[in-house]
Structure 1
């Protein structure tokens, strides 16, 4: 559902329903400390539910019944919603029902018995260790091969608002541009790309967490970064010697070249000096991966790879859970399945009796 559609349907709700939506959104943001994106998704689902309830004769949250919730989910399924989407919408209904009951808007928690299909959980794409190393080292190799930075000078300056084409990664081994076509800013962007890739793979942080880092979040003495994760949970994540070298080079030579009045305390900067935008960061990762002929990979793919390689190297599952910032061990256990699948694939390929 688009934002415009959500706003339109929200305004069409009965006054009591509109007030409940607004109060619920405020609860998610202020009390539950949910992200803007999470609140937006919950609100869109809730507006859809209450709009459907209104068409069934409900004027206030107190009119909601289990049959209404089931009818709404059935309609979503008829409209072609995927199992994963249905599971998320059912979770929205349960969360809202529990909140409304606690706040006196519902006499009983009507969604307690609401069942939902289990979303199909696909195994994440994972790079091999040598592929991940090649990707992380790509900015340095590109500079040595071309004598330039990683930004195509014909693409124009980078933009922290992530307009398409602003930061184009030059293919590894591409011909060197004409003299004078690149400068200090290009080298600074290369250093920025290097620290970005080192942090994503070396720490397994989410792309939003990496882009949200401030310079003061890096403890170079202990070699850890302080990360603010989902739900406002803070954790410290260690990083290795290669990442330390990348941080040193970036803080010494790269960041000062890009920093401007709008930089603030941001660790990672866009080519215009503002905090690096996650959309731009995703494009940077994808560009280097494409240049190397690697499978299509995103920043989250590097996070998947880091977790899998840690477990394959013998790391404890709960330690990996802590590093990744998962609130539930079940979220981390998917990586054990990844490792088993890789083992099975190797067995099928190599064993004569497979």
Structure 2
């Protein structure tokens, strides 16, 4: 069997993530970027075949990520980014060993740095309400779309990718619920508050038909009639925050953290919030507890500021 090159091994691993693991598009794109960085590092060391990669190369890669390249003006990465990139490299080497592309997993003993734990940032309820009002303050189909988009983000604590990937069939307006597809393609049914339902209905009746150019299942559309991108949806939220006069840094993840914080402040059980957010566990050491959809709906209705 011919020696595996670094390029061919990376291609096989990325194919494995897509075909066999069913990894999300964004996950594969992230791994592709991280492994491209790793490929460049190895190439600069004159290593083009997997047989030439040793444990010290992986360790030196970690050091290089943290140090950056001062001579070229390239800053080092934060520990969280270093850890993410090393996860990609470790997964890659584990795959190569399992597939017989290398005799051993040379990255097995290399551990990522422990990132400092940061408390998630959230906004006061008043700031969120101001952003929601600002999102729907304009006129025309795009204003209706923006209002529905931002209301849904906060109402469900959804990730931006979960909302932009929504199709019409994922909405159950009669039962005030929506199907969200999270990381790894996992689906969850999440209740939707009254203001968000009203905003979505207004958009579907008076906004979306004006944006449609050809048949599409996408809920949120851009001015050309295609599915709204994550970047464009992000900008909708940023613009609404600016119009609302909220001078804090606002992102879809900020709204997601605010959703969770406001629910917990309202008395919601942490396990219910865990389910609503689509997290697999409360902590890595706690046993995961299933919560029925009915229980989630009841807690949501009493705890979320925009449930009614």
Q: Please give the TM-score of this superposition, normalised by the length of structure 2.
A: 0.81
1:7 maps to what in 2?
A: none
TM-superposed CA distance for 1:299, in Å, is 1.8
SS of the residue corresponding to residue 5 of structure 2 reads helix
Alignment partners' CA distance in 1, 2:113 and 2:151: 38
Alignment partners' CA distance in 1, 2:269 and 2:167: 29
Deviation per CA, 1:55-104: give whole Å up to 9, x if none. Answer: 54644323332122112222223322322222122212211121111111
Alignment partners' CA distance in 2, 1:123 and 1:45: 26
CA gap 1:62/1:314 in 2 versus in 1, 3 angstroms: farther
Pick one of 111, 114, 126 that aligns with 2:110: 114
2:8 maps to what in 1?
A: 19
TM-superposed CA distance for 1:139, in Å, is 4.0
Alignment partners' CA distance in 2, 1:293 and 1:49: 42
Q: Is the 8 A contact 1:139 1:190 kept in 2?
A: yes
Q: Please give the TM-score of this superposition, normalised by the length of structure 1.
A: 0.71
Pick one of 210, 227, 241 that aligns with 1:289: 241
Alignment partners' CA distance in 1, 2:34 and 2:208: 41
1:172 maps to what in 2?
A: none
Alignment of 1:156-305 (within 5 A): 186=140, 188-261=141-214, 263-294=215-246, 295-305=248-258
Deviation per CA, 1:181-218: give whole Å up to 9, x if none. Answer: xxxxx2x2221111111100000111111111111110
RMSD, aligned α-carbons? 2.3
TM-superposed CA distance for 1:21, in Å, is 0.9
SS of the residue corresponding to residue 329 of structure 1 reads coil
Greater Rg, structure 1 or structure 2? 1
2:291 maps to what in 1?
A: none
Deviation per CA, 1:230-254: give whole Å up to 9, x if none. Answer: 2111111110111121122122222
Deviation per CA, 1:29-80: give whole Å up to 9, x if none. Answer: 2222233333233233323334434554644323332122112222223322
Alignment partners' CA distance in 2, 1:273 and 1:250: 14
2:54 maps to what in 1?
A: 65
2:67 maps to what in 1?
A: 78
Q: Is the 8 A contact 1:290 1:296 kept in 2?
A: no
CA gap 1:113/1:209 in 2 versus in 1, 3 angstroms: same
Alignment partners' CA distance in 2, 1:33 and 1:309: 34
SS of the residue corresponding to residue 77 of structure 2 reads coil
Structure 1 residue 329 corresponds to structure 2 residue 282: yes
Deviation per CA, 1:280-329: give whole Å up to 9, x if none. Answer: 21111111111111123122211111011111112222222221122343
Alignment partners' CA distance in 1, 2:85 and 2:267: 37
1:352 maps to what in 2?
A: none
1:45 maps to what in 2?
A: 34
Runs of 4+, deviation exceeding 4 Å? 54-59
CA gap 1:273/1:104 in 2 versus in 1, 3 angstroms: same
2:269 maps to what in 1?
A: 316
